[in-house]
Amino acid sequence: MTTHLILDIETIPDPELPRADDSDKVPPPPFNQIVTVGCMLLEDYLPMRIGCVGEGKNEIAILTDFAAWLDKARPCVVTWNGRGFDMPVITSRALRHGVSMPWWFSDRNTRYRFTPDGHFDLMDFLADFGAAKSGKLDVYAKLVGFPGKVGVDGSQVAPMVHAGRLDEVNAYCLCDVAQTAAIFLRTQLLRGVIDRARYVDLARGLLTFIDAEPRLEPVASKVDRPRFLLEPSSPPTAPPA
């Protein structure tokens, strides 16, 4: 059985590491404190569950739970820009708290850039590993029929956390997880790992799964389902004579 874990994180600036230079919109990995680790578990490409690791716990507890599960389950982690952001943040924060992550460091495939095994960074793959300019999750989600960002973006996470709106941050993170899963299925079709008929079946299953999760409603209500399911589009209407 093939197991994939779709992963996305949300962060805020670490108050213990003030930065002299705030010119970067996204600070380097160690300066990001993790508040949410959102995941969707796929088994043979079928969505089994979705949620936030250690929901309601502090950063060290989230990382401890996450590292323990990864080392036991050994999935292939699927991310959008996970090599450039999510995993370096996770490992630098694990270093901060003294949390062991043998899954990440004991298997060459997890850290080797040019293989989809262990860790499949969709953004890096679709940009031919830096040969082309990389795009945002928002854009590629729209390419396959998903809405992209829905009401919240990363710049709003810190104010929301400080206002006590962590539940909304978690829901936002899970919406990105769901859209990453959608891009992943289409990428596997692109690669020829699954054929068109299998893709359509899996895509229908993913939509059913998304529809059943209340926190994903902002995404579910805006999916272009014919596009995602590869249904023929109606021919353009001829202008009146």
Q: What are 14-33's pLDDT values in tens digits?
A: 999 887 666 667 789 999 99
Mean pLDDT of the 156-167 span: 92
pLDDT score of 23: 61
Please tell me the predicted confidence (pLDDT) of residue 236. 54
Residue type (1 letter), 220: A
CB burial readout 97-136, b (16+ within 10 A) else e: eebebebbeeeeebeeeeebebbbbbbbbbeeeeeeebee
Residue 118: pLDDT above 90? yes
pLDDT, residue 107, reads: 87
Chain segment 182-193, per-residue pLDDT in tens:
999 999 999 999
pLDDT confidence of residue 237? 58
Q: What pLDDT, on a 0 to 100 scale, did the predictor assign at position 239?
A: 62
Q: Kind of pairing, strands 76-79 and 119-121?
A: parallel
Please report, to the nearest 10 degrees, the dihedral formed by the alpha carbons of residues 188, 194, 196, 200 taken in order: -80
Q: What is the pLDDT of residue 232?
A: 86
CA distances, 122 to each of 61, 84, 172, 234 (Å): 28, 11, 19, 30
pLDDT (tens digit per residue) in 59-101 = 999 999 999 999 999 999 999 999 999 999 999 999 999 999 9
Q: Which two tokens stand for residue 136?
A: 């945002």
pLDDT reported for residue 241: 57
| Tokens coding 15 | 């108050």
Delineate the domains of the chain, giving CATH numbers in brackets: 3-228 (3.30.420.10)
**Per-residue DSSP letter, 24:** S
